[in-house]
Amino acid sequence: DYWRLNDRIRLRKNPRYWDAAHTQSDVIDLLPCVVPATALNLYETGAADIVWDKELVPPDLLDVVLQRPDFHVHDYLGNYFYRYNVTKPPFHDARVRQALALAIDKRRIVERITKGGEKPAACVCPPGILNGTNLYHPPAGLPYRPDQARQLLAAAGYPGGRGFPLFHYTFNNVESHKQIAVELRQMWQRELGIHVELRQLEWKTYLRAQAELDYDLVRSSWIGDYNDPNTFLDLFMSDNPNNRTGWRNARYDQCLREANAAISPAERQRLLQQAERLLVEEELPIVPLYFYVSIEYYDSDKISGIYPNLRVEHPLRAIRNLARRGTGATRPHQP
């Protein structure tokens, strides 16, 4: 219908749309919003019916809103991890990469920093992901075992962290990334006796640093393009430009090629698990930290047509405000 800058985008039902007969709302307003407190105020006062963005949840209120019946948290097809630059010593040694991973208490990160219902991750494929029509079962990954971490670091030539070079952990300039970086620094210093400097970069510089392998460790994330393990595992094949770790492994590449040519779902699952085990238990060019969740505010007694799914795909034609006949929900969102 119209777009009013910094106010709203108004969508009006098109009677010539192929599925107009099943389109539930005549009008839906999209409200641009970047300030969490503003989004919450719009929702609480009834000016908005749905909030669909975790970044619009005030961080200091997460503990409170998680208890509300109109605060919905669901699994999401995304993960948060960090990459090693495996071309730079000492991170060319898989024992060092494993040691740092085993020294991380991931539950502490999701309970004290993210606090939105995220799940600690030991593998790269999120919960609920499918292998064809069957649920995919990822490998266990590495747990939190600081004693084993210290043994591995000593075996790599750095007993008690002695002689381990100062290194940098790179992240883009978002406060939550900084908080996680600080927590990792403290864990590695406490458990392994090693020291890391934090390197915060503006977004474009951060992306360039990853692409050019201008880093030691760098925070990363990935949102799946489709519901299948390949959308995550394919990233780290040797010739994938999204790899960005310097890691190349012929066995990993072969597992994925064979998996994607397999006819039997059971055989494909076995090959995918084998590849992921290489990635998150043996070689570790990356370390998964947690799985994202989707977060929405809406009153399910008033709003219909929203159903949990890993891709967070909610067709607007299905959404209806039960309290306003013929009028759709207004939805604050980040531009």
Q: Are residues 240 and 315 both part of a single domain?
A: no
CA–CA gap between residue 279 and residue 288 (Å, rounded): 10
Name which of 334, 301, 309, 319 is nearest 126 in CA terms.
309
Quickly state the pLDDT bin for 335 (edges 50, 70, 90): very low
Q: Are residues 243 and 149 both part of a single domain?
A: yes
Q: Are residues 272 and 249 both part of a single domain?
A: yes
* Phi-psi domain of 146 (left: phi exceeds 0; alpha: psi -120 through 50; beta: other): alpha
User: What pTM, to 2 d.p., does this model score?
Assistant: 0.89
Residue 331 is predicted with a pLDDT of: 62
CA–CA gap between residue 59 and residue 39 (Å, rounded): 13
pLDDT (tens digit per residue) in 168-226: 999 999 999 999 999 999 999 999 999 999 999 999 999 999 999 999 999 999 999 99
pLDDT (tens digit per residue) in 44-66: 999 999 998 878 888 788 888 88
Looking up residue 329, the CATH number of its domain turns out to be 3.40.190.10
CA–CA gap between residue 335 and residue 328 (Å, rounded): 20
Structurally, the chain folds into a number of domains equal to: 2
Residue 315 lies in domain = 2-70+298-333
- Judge contact between 245 and 84, C-beta under 8 A: yes
Q: Are residues 116 and 186 both part of a single domain?
A: yes
Kind of pairing between the strands at 303-304 and 320-321: antiparallel
Q: Are residues 245 and 321 both part of a single domain?
A: no
- Rounded to an integer, the average pLDDT of 139-163 is 98
Q: Are residues 201 and 141 both part of a single domain?
A: yes
- Judge contact between 253 and 237, C-beta under 8 A: yes
* Phi-psi domain of 70 (left: phi exceeds 0; alpha: psi -120 through 50; beta: other): alpha
